[in-house]
Structure 1
Amino acid sequence: MLTPDAPDQPAAITVGDDVLSREDLVGAATAAAERIRGAHTLAVLATPSVETILAIIGGLKAGVTIVPVPPDSGERELAHILNDSGAQAWLDPAPVTSSLPAIPVRRHARSWHTHPEPPDDSVALLLYTSGTTGLPKGVPVTRRAIAAGLDALAQAWDWSADDTLAHGLPLFHVHGLVLGVLGPLRRGSRVIHTVKPTPDGYARAADNGATMFFGVPTVWTRVAADPEAAQSLSSARLLISGSAPLPVPVFEQIAELTGHRIVERYGMTETLITISTRVDGERRPGWVGLPLEGVQTRLRSPEVDSGATDLPHDGETVGDLHIRGPMVASGYLHRPAETAESWLDDGWFATGDVAVIDPDGMHRIVGRASTDLIKCGGFRIGAGEIETVLLGHGAVSEVAVVGIPDDDLGQRIVAYVVGDRVPETELIALVADQLSHHKRPREIRYVDALPRNAMGKVQKKQLLD
């Protein structure tokens, strides 16, 4: 994943106040690779630290599959990930509750031994999904898939060695690790990890020359609420959002404060990033852009048993989104039944998301088929468009719309709202006026907070439960 011919830079990686030069990174990671060569699978407790990055890069150099483990994993989830992955040991440090041995990663050790490049089809990372429908599923991600995905993004974003990427995202998911660490290393550019994705941290990174910023919608919402920090990002080249839909009001607030229209993109653990707005293309709020180089997409009707059909790309028709491309994984680890459900016989991957594609190829993600496509009174309704309207009300700071089983309607539209408690009828009327009468929520439920995972995605299954 490292590019040997990239320009030497004194601060290749900065995590908080901790700095690694490119020489430090290569020397210490190579020394780690020396100690673990011959292992097949090792776990890394993915804290936001230079030690985590050294451990992961050491594993990649040695051709060892690395399992990045969320540091806040509960006992049950941790045991599942270790058992399912077949991890032989930890690359130091290890959780105190784990009985697996730990192999130290010595920050000041150095080796300049040249290791042969592992095969392209070897598994670099074993990433675990967020587990919204049970225990997390392992996704083997090959070196070829990572290279194809990062190179396609570099083309779309004009990402070069001259850039400095800043973010504060977790190092156990595609967004923070593959894009946020391996991406800069492959481009030969610098990365500043702010430890936590705070507006102040992003403002300091801008002062230190950051040209690209990654964030999830929660991060951009907080930046938009801090005008001084937001204005610091005006000097950046690109602001990029992903991992969950970016509310249109936040897109517009950031544009007003920074002069930047945020680049949105779409991806999953199973596919890496496959769709994105281009640096030189249209940046339409609420839309995630065009397929990346080598990626194909289609919309299919959900009636699989009666024979699924392709749906038109007319900007209005909602359908199941299918994807194929060189960065898509080939299945789940030890899950043949779930693999057969998502990886179809004709070579396409069924994402489980529903989307709209316009005649120019622009994609809008409606949401998960299981929670964001609501079938109410015979209509198929996307939760996202209702959420966007409600977020436009000054009293609403956060919202999640779901379909609750209803004997009469099939599903009843319910909005969970965080914010000032205005009359329920006021919010319902707003949706009926701006969209259609049949898309109005039948009920508003005020809550103090929405359940979210580590990447900021709202866990609607918890609301439904």
Structure 2
Amino acid sequence: MNELFPALRTASSRTALRFQDRALTYGQLAASAGTLAARIGAERRVAVWATPTMETSVAVVAALLAGIPAVPVNPKIGESELAHIVSDSAPTLVLAEPDAELPGPLAALPRIDVDPYEGTESGATAEGSEPGTATGAAGGAAGGAVELPPEPGAEAPAVIVYTSGTTGRPKGVVIPRRAIASTLDALGEAWQWTADDVLVHGLPLFHVHGLILGILGPLRRGGTVHHLGRFSTEGVARELAGVGTMLFGVPTMYHRLAAEAGDNPALAKALGGARLLVSGSAALPLTDHQKITAATGARVVERYGMTETLMNTAVRADDTAAPGTVGVPLPGVHARLVEESGTVIEESDGETVGEIQVRGPNLFVEYLNRPDATAEAFDGGWFRTGDMATRDAGGRYRIVGRKATDLIKSGGYKIGAGEIENSLLEHPGVAEAAVTGEPDEDLGERIVAWIVPDTDENGGAAPTAQELIDHVAAQLAPHKRPRIVHFLDALPRNDMGKILKRGLHA
């Protein structure tokens, strides 16, 4: 495998990272991360206090240069979960911002405070710099290319990202360097992603989407990332109206953009001028797709991946298919649909539902310290994703939900929760919707809808339960209608905006 970040060796004056009024050129990043890599030395693993900052980005790049696995830690993590992650991953060092107050288990570790400009010729900020360059030092080390450590092997662990722990204690997913390289190169081909692109995002940096795709992706391409620090529609409009060419976000972000774009010409123009708008981490409702396209003329493309697999499929930049799919398998990735019996589904009819299984260079190595869970996750070399989908004649996959929470078996039918959620969201009186199943003596499972009403769009009145039941029955089919409707003030969500369906029944 070639090195992860070839652009770091050029010591160029192109901007690599920008966080608000601070930026680093490739030369500065190479010098800073290279200096920190030398300080890290030969540690076993390093924890990174993963705030959405320049310091986190430099820390992870430094660990990768040093060939030491990095364990990103969510700064909003709970005490019990943090204790488990530190005990399980056993880091010997923690990297953090100088002023960060670290909680218990991390505070007990040896610590290095990260200075993004250490080792560079200038600590100047980049406020007011021209697109593609950063003010301050034009490079890193004086006069040309930077000496960096040799590239570790392709199978060497790069990062250990912990799962959300929805079905037990979080598991440490050991992601090798070849998985990062293969995923980012495959997305580069699918999205025509080049060094000329400037990626805008405001995602957290403790997971695959924000860190690996959003920070390491531009660095592998030799391009630029502008991180908003914290997502805002104003920040998106400003950056995309400037030099930004791509936007990465999650559905909750695009929902806010969709809600504002129709009444905000500046935002609509900025979104419409982007080369690529990408949504991931959960399905984007069709209503938000439609609102954004109506207001901006642009479309949002989706991709599909997991912590264990990085990216599996993506809607290609040149695919003009209707929204709602997550596209075709990426180059090098093999995907299949499998029945509960283990039979491989050959049909590509857009209707037959099966579990997605994948294999390819994008896959993780193992669950840390969990050989039992690792073995259970595979079926003859194919990773069992637990995600249910259909596949159309063009080979595009459409996710219908998680096997454990979103596949509802009612009256002899297999019903995907996502289809019903999209139907409910088309009703003007629905702001948010989630659909689950619960045991039913007659049907096996009955469909339950959880609704946050939108009275502003519905003439000041919340819809009735029967109104929503009839709406779904008319839009889809009678057997897909909810049997019970609950009204809530808000749906429980995690840091990525994913709805926590187990929390609904609790």
Please give the residue correspondences for 1:376-455 in structure 2 after superposition, counting only pairs within 5 Å. Answer: 376-419=410-453, 420=455, 421-455=462-496
State the Cα deviation string for residues 17-47 of structure 1 (Å, max 9, x = none). 2222222211111110010121120000100
| Matching residue of 1:145 | 179
| Matching residue of 2:218 | 184
**Offset of 1:151 from its aligned partner?**
0.2
Q: Please give the secondary structure, in 2, of the residue aligned with 1:73.
A: coil
**Offset of 1:10 from its aligned partner?**
4.4
Q: TM-score, normalised by structure 1?
A: 0.96
State the Cα deviation string for residues 322-341 of structure 1 (Å, max 9, x = none). 11111011321112222222
Q: Which amino acid aligns with 2:463?
A: V
Alpha-carbon distance between aligned partners in 2 of 1:137 and 1:381, rounded to the nearest angstrom:
29
Alpha-carbon distance between aligned partners in 2 of 1:166 and 1:157, rounded to the nearest angstrom:
15
| Matching residue of 2:407 | 373
- Which ranges of 4 or more aligned residues in structure 1 deviate by more than 6 Å? none
Residue pair 1:263, 1:283 contacting (<8 A) in 2 also: no
1:335 aligns with 2:370: yes
Residue pair 1:7, 1:188 contacting (<8 A) in 2 also: no
**Offset of 1:109 from its aligned partner?**
1.7
1:95 to 98, 102, 110: 102
| Matching residue of 2:381 | 347
Q: Residues 69 and 29 from structure 1, CA distance in 2 versus in 1: closer, same or farther, beyond 3 angstroms? A: same
Q: Which amino acid aligns with 1:116?
A: P
Q: State the identity %.
A: 49
Q: Please give the secondary structure, in 1, of the residue aligned with 2:12.
A: coil
Q: Please give the secondary structure, in 2, of the residue aligned with 1:351.
A: strand
Q: Please give the secondary structure, in 1, of the residue aligned with 2:34.
A: helix
**Offset of 1:9 from its aligned partner?**
4.0
2:276 to 231, 235, 238: 238
Please give the residue correspondences for 1:267-278 in structure 2 after superposition, counting only pairs within 5 Å. Answer: 267-278=305-316
Alpha-carbon distance between aligned partners in 2 of 1:274 and 1:7, rounded to the nearest angstrom:
33
Long gaps (5+) in structure 1? none
Q: Please give the secondary structure, in 2, of the residue aligned with 1:12.
A: strand
Q: Please give the secondary structure, in 1, of the residue aligned with 2:117.
A: coil
| Matching residue of 1:321 | 356
Q: TM-score, normalised by structure 2?
A: 0.89
Q: Which amino acid aligns with 2:227?
A: H
1:456 to 497, 502, 505: 497
| Matching residue of 2:46 | 42
Residue pair 1:311, 1:319 contacting (<8 A) in 2 also: no
Alpha-carbon distance between aligned partners in 2 of 1:146 and 1:81, rounded to the nearest angstrom:
22
Q: Residues 377 and 182 from structure 1, CA distance in 2 versus in 1: closer, same or farther, beyond 3 angstroms? A: same
Q: Please give the secondary structure, in 2, of the residue aligned with 1:100.
A: coil
**Offset of 1:367 from its aligned partner?**
0.8
Long gaps (5+) in structure 2? 120-140, 456-461
1:2 to 2, 5, 11: 5
**Offset of 1:83 from its aligned partner?**
1.0
Q: Which amino acid aligns with 1:261?
A: R
1:357 to 385, 391, 403: 391
Alpha-carbon distance between aligned partners in 2 of 1:294 and 1:397, rounded to the nearest angstrom:
39
* Count of aligned residue pairs for this structure pair: 461
| Matching residue of 2:254 | 220
Q: Please give the secondary structure, in 1, of the residue aligned with 2:253.
A: helix
Alpha-carbon distance between aligned partners in 2 of 1:342 and 1:37, rounded to the nearest angstrom:
34
Alpha-carbon distance between aligned partners in 2 of 1:28 and 1:200, rounded to the nearest angstrom:
31
Alpha-carbon distance between aligned partners in 2 of 1:404 and 1:209, rounded to the nearest angstrom:
49
1:26 aligns with 2:30: yes
**Offset of 1:309 from its aligned partner?**
4.1
State the Cα deviation string for residues 372-399 of structure 1 (Å, max 9, x = none). 1001111110101100110001111110
Alpha-carbon distance between aligned partners in 1 of 2:409 and 2:11, rounded to the nearest angstrom:
54
| Matching residue of 2:205 | 171
Alpha-carbon distance between aligned partners in 1 of 2:157 and 2:365, rounded to the nearest angstrom:
11
Between 279-288 and 124-133, report the one with greater CA deviation. 279-288
**Offset of 1:303 from its aligned partner?**
2.6
Q: Please give the secondary structure, in 2, of the residue aligned with 1:263.
A: strand
RMSD across aligned positions (CA): 1.5
Residue pair 1:299, 1:312 contacting (<8 A) in 2 also: no
State the Cα deviation string for residues 422-461 of structure 1 (Å, max 9, x = none). 1111110011011110100001111111111111111111
Q: Residues 72 and 9 from structure 1, CA distance in 2 versus in 1: closer, same or farther, beyond 3 angstroms? A: same
Q: Residues 7 and 26 from structure 1, CA distance in 2 versus in 1: closer, same or farther, beyond 3 angstroms? A: closer
Alpha-carbon distance between aligned partners in 2 of 1:8 and 1:224, rounded to the nearest angstrom:
38
Alpha-carbon distance between aligned partners in 1 of 2:397 and 2:441, rounded to the nearest angstrom:
33
Please give the residue correspondences for 1:4-83 in structure 2 after superposition, counting only pairs within 5 Å. Answer: 4=7, 8-83=12-87
**Offset of 1:285 from its aligned partner?**
1.4
